[in-house]
Chains A and B, each alone.
Chain A
Amino acid sequence: MIATAERLAAEQGISREQVDAYALGSHQRALQARDSGWLAGEIVAVGNERFELDGYQARGIQLPRRVVEVAQDSHPRPTDAEALARLHAIHPGGVQTAGNSCAVVDGAAAALVGRAADCTGSPLALLRTASVIGVAPEIMGIGPAPAIQLLLQRSGLRLDEIGLLEINEAQRSGAGGQSGVGAGFGAPESAWRLHRPRPPLGGYRPAW
């Protein structure tokens, strides 16, 4: 995944400074989202718990001694451009570092997908369309760009009708507006920010 990001960075002329700046913004937005309580509604705290199942062995969660519960994301942290610039690139001469790559974290997420008509309240979201498309393995991180193009083509939607873009791409040089995925479907980074009604976390992702 890192090699992919480095190939994209080289191909698209994405600099270490650009990657670090994006990572810095991502950490800052994540901290802001955490501290303002924006994320509280989506997080369930994890504590010691036993999961019973009639007729079968119980399972459960046992945290380390002295840990009562895990209630907040641990990865976003206060940092600055100088601290990020001091980190060594993982591949010599490259742009990806431990500071600007995706978080390597443990956790889980769940969603219930059902019929909007059956919802008693209002659903969190409607799932309208989906697209999937393959790209060359050596630049697999560019995948979201042609997937978004395909989605727009087939759905008849225009990019300027999209109010919020969240791109799941682990390495900064794979995402980004002026280059990488953003350039691939024609969205300038300034437009993303303007159109985003909530704190975008950017590269802050627990993905590969």
Chain B
Amino acid sequence: MSSGQFSAFEDVAIIEALRTPWSDLNGPLAQVSPIDLGIKVGRAVLARADLDPAAVDSVLAGSMAQASFDAYMLPRHIGLYSGVPQQVPALAVQRICGTGLELLRQAAMHLQSGGQLALCVGSESMSRNPIASYEHRAGFRLGAPVGFKDFLWEALFDPAPGGGHDRHRRAPRR
């Protein structure tokens, strides 16, 4: 029986790494798209390593929330606006809390299969998590509940084990 996945890597290195400051919810980064935060660090890490963006042959990016209307383009825009050539593909990686580590694992597997240099970017705007509804495409029926909820709060709840997130919640005081 298979139980988990394990990989051993030869000659795979983290050449350079950096980050923005972590800025509290609704702080000065609250209005910045995670794509632009990602471009910022993508450009900065290439500059610090003194590497030509054209040497990158894989762009891997992770971001949990959809925090702008161009959210689908997050990995692609991070690559392109960091100077990575158009022919180089970009992929979104998602393992919730483990996304950052998973980016590095995916990069190592890329190198294992012949790749040369992966740009990995994790970017998140908690502040720009939307207030969202999934049920109003067809409108609002008179008297029916309005379905808008805070994605940032609701996404903390896994309905599989259940337990009723709303019923037990007490809004944290700030």
Residues of B within 8 A of A130 (CB): 6-7, 9, 101, 104-105, 108
| Assembly CA distance A128 to B163 (angstroms) | 40
Identify B32's interface contact among A73, A106, A118, A127, CB under 8 A. A106
Find out whether the CB atom of B170 lies under 8 angstroms from the CB atom of A90.
yes
B4 at the interface (CB under 8 A from A): yes
| Contact string against A for B residues 127-154, beta-carbon threshold 8 Å, 1 for contact and 0 otherwise | 1100000000000000000000000100
Find out whether the CB atom of A124 lies under 8 angstroms from the CB atom of B34.
no
Give how many A residues have a beta carbon under 8 Å from the other chain's beta carbons. 80
Query: Whole-angstrom distance from the CB of A111 to the nearest CB of chain B?
Result: 4
Residues of B within 8 A of A61 (CB): 32, 36-37, 40
Find out whether the CB atom of A115 lies under 8 angstroms from the CB atom of B116.
yes
Tell me the dominant secondary structure on chain B's binding face.
mixed
Query: Whole-angstrom distance from the CB of B154 to the nearest CB of chain A?
Result: 12
Residues of A within 8 A of B93 (CB): none
Find out whether the CB atom of B107 lies under 8 angstroms from the CB atom of A113.
yes
Identify B81's interface contact among A53, A62, A73, A111, CB under 8 A. A53
Identify A109's interface contact among B9, B18, B35, B46, CB under 8 A. B18
From A9-17, A21-29, A63-71, A187-195, give the one contacting chain B: A63-71
A-B contact pairs, 22 of them (CB 8 A): A4-B158, A42-B17, A46-B29, A51-B40, A70-B23, A71-B21, A91-B170, A92-B168, A106-B23, A106-B30, A106-B37, A106-B126, A107-B23, A119-B15, A124-B15, A126-B14, A129-B9, A130-B7, A130-B9, A132-B4, A208-B64, A208-B96
9 A-B pairs with the lowest CB-CB distances in the bound complex, closest first:
A133-B4, A123-B13, A138-B161, A108-B123, A113-B107, A109-B19, A108-B37, A110-B41, A116-B13
